[in-house]
Amino acid sequence: MLVGVGHVFDISSQVEDIITRVQPDVIALELDRSRLQALLSPDGQRGDLPFFHSLLASLQERIAKKYGVATGSEMAAAARRARDSAIGILCIDLDVRMVMTRLWRSIPLRKKLLFMVSGLTSLFISKKRVEEEIESFETEPETYLQEMRSTLPELYTILIDERNRHMAARLRQALDMYDSIVAFVGEGHTPGMEELLTDETLSLTVVHLSELRGDTWRDRLPEPAPG
DSSP secondary structure of the chain? -EEEE-TTS--HHHHHHHHHHH--SEEEES--HHHHHHHHSTT----S--HHHHHHHHHHHHHHHHTTS-TTHHHHHHHHHHHHTT-EEEE-SPPHHHHHHHHHHHS-HHHHHHHHHHHHHGGG--HHHHHHHHHHHHH-HHHHHHHHHHH-HHHIIIIIIHHHHHHHHHHHHHTTT-S-EEEEEEGGGHHHHHHHH-STT----EE-HHHHHHT-GGGGSPPPPP-
Q: Which pLDDT band holds residue 17 (cuts at 50, 70, 90)?
A: very high
104-131 pLDDT, tens per residue? 888 887 776 766 666 555 555 666 776 7
137-191 pLDDT, tens per residue? 777 777 878 887 888 888 889 989 999 999 999 999 999 999 999 999 999 999 9
User: Which letter, b or e, does each residue of 143-160 get, where b requires 16 or more Cβ atoms within 10 Å of its Cβ?
Assistant: ebbeebeeebeebbebbb
Give the per-residue pLDDT at 227: 47
Q: Burial, 199: exposed, middle or buried (Cβ in 10 Å; 0-12, 13-18, 19+)?
A: exposed
Distance (Å, whole) CA 131 – CA 119: 18
Give the per-residue pLDDT at 99: 87
Give the per-residue pLDDT at 48: 60
Distance (Å, whole) CA 166 – CA 170: 6
41-77 pLDDT, tens per residue? 876 555 565 555 665 666 666 665 666 667 788 999 9
User: Residue 132 pLDDT > 50, yes or no?
Assistant: yes
**Average pLDDT over every residue of 198-205:** 90
Tell me which of 33 and 147 has the higher pLDDT. Answer: 33
Give the per-residue pLDDT at 40: 86
75-95 pLDDT, tens per residue? 999 999 999 999 999 999 999
Distance (Å, whole) CA 165 – CA 100: 17
Give the per-residue pLDDT at 46: 55
19-31 pLDDT, tens per residue? 999 999 999 999 9
